[in-house]
Amino acid sequence: MGNTVVLKCAEQTPLSALHVASLIKEAGFPAGVVNIIPGFGPTAGHAVSTHKDVDKVAFTGSTEIGRIVMTAAAHSNVKKVTLELGGKSPNIIFADADYVFVLPVDFAAEQAHHGLFFNQGQCCCAGSRVFVEGKVQVDDAQLQTIKKYVEYGKKEGAQLVTGGKQWGKKGFFYEPTIFANVKDEMTIAQEECDSKRKLVKQIFGPVMSVIRFDNMEDLIDLANNTIYGLAAAVVTKDIDKALHVANNIRAGSVWVNCYDVFDAAAPFGGYKQSGIGRELGEYGLEAYTEVKTVTIKVPQKNS
């Protein structure tokens, strides 16, 4: 494989791309192998996608601009196109989402937080739709656990500043609660840390779309109810349940008990309006190759 590259960087990051160009030169690449063109989409981007000497275009960006690139490629020399476009990825949390050394809700919250706010949310595959099984969202057992630890705080001498009781008569709501004059050895001070003072329980306040589901059939319908299909995630200890979701979610990547895990050998790309083709892995390399069939007639021995 010996393709040369013309890189049209994002219009917001020309200096970063030009710095990469200096590193490429420093590494000893021959002139003309990697070419970086700063500029705007309607000018520089259009020139690349319509140029008749360009055999293949790979675009990462919005679905709207992806359509424009695809049209330009078709109207020029019908060049190959791979598109890595937008997403509205579902992050699915089942009621059995426990994990080694971590309480169920803690690990699920960690995955939901990382899935959306990784790279400040500027990630095409961000898990912006969090589906939570009803058994997790409404839980009297968790309410009773909170009450228990509040009572520990009172009995051990901490000062209750505010809150400290259930809110309302319906549901499982608990008032925001603050203790003052807390000593390090108190249960409420130690409950969130292990013996090495390492935080094992985190409290998140992410702003995201949280959608309740009560059965598998509804979950699959809700998760697939989008024009996108870039990625998805499942948090569960039941591998059969995870594989069922993975097989039925229309997304190019499905992570189980993790999020945003990539490998150079693992293809990445989307279904539906999240794009065409794949990046990375053998599938990604195929997009930059052409197939040729050569047929040779071999003379017969005595002809």
| Contact indicator for 139, 173 with CB cutoff of 8 Å | no
Alpha carbon dihedral 98, 101, 105, 110, in 10-degree steps, equals -110
pTM beyond 0.75: no
| Contact indicator for 128, 89 with CB cutoff of 8 Å | yes
Task: Provide the angle, in degrees to the nearest 10, between the axes of the packed helices 239-248 and 216-223.
Answer: 40
Active site residues: 84
Distance CA 233, CA 245 (A): 9
Distance CA 152, CA 81 (A): 62
- Ordered by where they begin, the domains of the chain are 5-84 (no CATH), 90-256 (3.40.309.10)
Q: What is the pLDDT along the chain (303 residues), one digit of tens a residue?
A: 578 999 999 888 899 999 999 999 999 999 999 999 999 999 999 999 999 999 999 999 888 899 999 999 999 999 999 999 988 888 998 888 765 345 456 778 888 888 877 775 668 888 877 888 876 655 676 677 777 778 887 888 877 777 888 888 777 777 777 766 665 566 665 444 334 433 333 222 223 566 788 899 989 998 898 888 999 999 998 999 999 999 999 999 999 999 999 999 999 999 999 999 999 999 999 999 999 999 999 988 876
Structure confidence at residue 202 (pLDDT): 27
